[in-house]
Amino acid sequence: MPETPEIPEELVLADEATASDEAVASAPEGVAPEAACVPEAAKEHDPMLDIHVPQATHTWKDFFIHVGTICVGLLIAVSLEQTVEYIHHSRELSRAREELREEKKANIEEFHQSSASFQASKLYLREYLATLHQSIKDPAVQLPALDVPIDFVFSEFTAWTAAQRGDGLALMPSDEQRANDRMYVGLRTLDEAENAAFISTRHAESVFISGLDPHDLTPDQKKELYRDASLALVDIEHVLIVEKITAHFSPEFGDERSLHLDAGKPDSKSPGPGDR
């Protein structure tokens, strides 16, 4: 097939110039020649740019309305933040109270168990000291080994410590906080007294740890045992006094009148150091 001849570039430019001249010549009156050359599609889709000039505040009324709007928005934002914080603190307080309730229940149970143990230990030591006093005067009196039935468990403080570190106490009434704080201070003081009594009691029993027979005790060893057992009895009676004070300030632990009010009174049946 014969090849299609290429159209010279000069002819294309000449045709475009001729078309442009015809458009200018045929343009209606009042229309610019340049506008006649623009295609209709381009005119229809030409974007329009609208510029709105901002209106400035000219009166005090407009100014105060603007400021009031800002203030109301800030108040709403602060109120929402405070509401969220209040809900958070309320949930923390509810959880703290539940944990404190469970911890108090455990501490009350351990309190009564320890109280019974120290009361029994006080009676045991008084009877033992009476027997020991007779044995010092008369070596023929049979003396058993010292074995005080003392037992106690340290109080729990986990819930109260966690509540103090968290946000739960922010909404707790001051009276409730003082009551809890007073209770835990009393329990800590009681723990220290019970631990001191336990140590002094075990120290008095140490003479028999090696398996020494009570009949083999020398008079000096018996006197030393009497002194150590007497000091242990003093510490145990001190524990019972602290228990009574704890029950006085924290009625949940029981009636103080039932917690051995005669704990600090000397027993007329127990000999004093001067009777040896």
pLDDT tens digits for range 104-136: 999 999 999 999 999 999 999 999 999 999 999
| Sequence-separated contacts (24+) of 249-253 with Cβ below 8 Å | 249/182, 249/183, 249/186, 250/179, 250/182, 250/183, 250/186, 252/104, 252/108, 252/183, 253/108, 253/111, 253/112
- Domain spans of the chain, in order of start: 68-275
Q: Is residue 44 predicted with pLDDT exceeding 90? A: no
Residue 197 scores a pLDDT above 80: yes
Contacts 24+ apart (CB under 8 A), 29-36: none
Q: Give the pLDDT band (50/70/90) at residue 86.
A: confident
- Longest Cα–Cα distance in the chain: 153
User: Per-residue pLDDT tens for 199-245?
Assistant: 999 999 999 988 889 989 999 999 999 999 999 999 999 999 999 99
pLDDT for 32 beyond 80: no
pTM above 0.85, yes or no: no
pLDDT reading at 35 higher than 60: no
**Among 41, 36, 34, residue whose Cα is nearest residue 23:** 36
As given in the structure block, the two tokens for residue 20 are: 């442009």
Distance CA 212, CA 148 (A): 17
* Angle of CA points 13, 14, 16, to nearest 5°: 65
Q: Residue 185 and residue 169: Cα distance in Å, rounded?
A: 17
Please, which pLDDT band fits residue 261 given cuts at 50, 70 and 90?
very low
